[in-house]
Amino acid sequence: MPTRVVGASRTDAGVHALRQVASLSTTASIEPRAFRRALNAVLPAAIRVLDSREAPAGFDARRSARGKRYAYLIDGGVCADPFLRRYAWHLPWPLDRTAMSRALGFVRGKHDFSAFCAAAGRGRSPICTVRSARLVSRKTRVVVLISADSFLHHMVRNLVGSLVEIGRGVERPEWIVQVLDGRDRTRAGPTAPPQGLVLARVMYP
């Protein structure tokens, strides 16, 4: 009988994961380190198991999670870095990073994020609590870091697309509040492409 594996988070095509977590139940007797080595021996090179351990009874990688952290990388160089082609959104124009950081302050806390949810993700509660939202920049690169108790479908990518509108001067930082209050996806910015998004961490109690 096939073994059912539960992943902590589903990622869209083109989105990456640094710290994906998966759980499974098995009657097999195998030492965790040996299990990790066995998996890495057969997995494609793009996927590596970094750790393996026995979990408490009832642990479920998805249902037991208490939050996630995502990172989104923007490459702001005049010429796109070829090494970042699969891992960043190339935007060859100046962005007002101060305005973007200010806008991120408005999304912290508990809000209805309907305006940042793709149609395919509707049907679940749109209320999420953003615990941390900040912008880290160095030279031509910008990273948007967001941690929350839960995320809606395309929520981070839609937030980043809206932040870029603010960074370009199309909208003011306070506009993000109007978008949140409006709860209308058509009022937010475009969806950022998938390649810049990384599931950075899954949090457990």
Per the residue annotation, which of 12, 81, 181, 184 is the catalytic one? 12
Is residue 184 annotated as a catalytic residue, yes or no? no
- Do the Cβ atoms of 15 and 71 come closer than 8 Å? no
Q: Sort 183 into a burial class: Cβ within 10 Å, 0-12 / 13-18 / 19+.
A: middle
- Do the Cβ atoms of 89 and 195 come closer than 8 Å? yes
- Do the Cβ atoms of 145 and 136 come closer than 8 Å? yes
Q: Which residues are catalytic?
A: 12
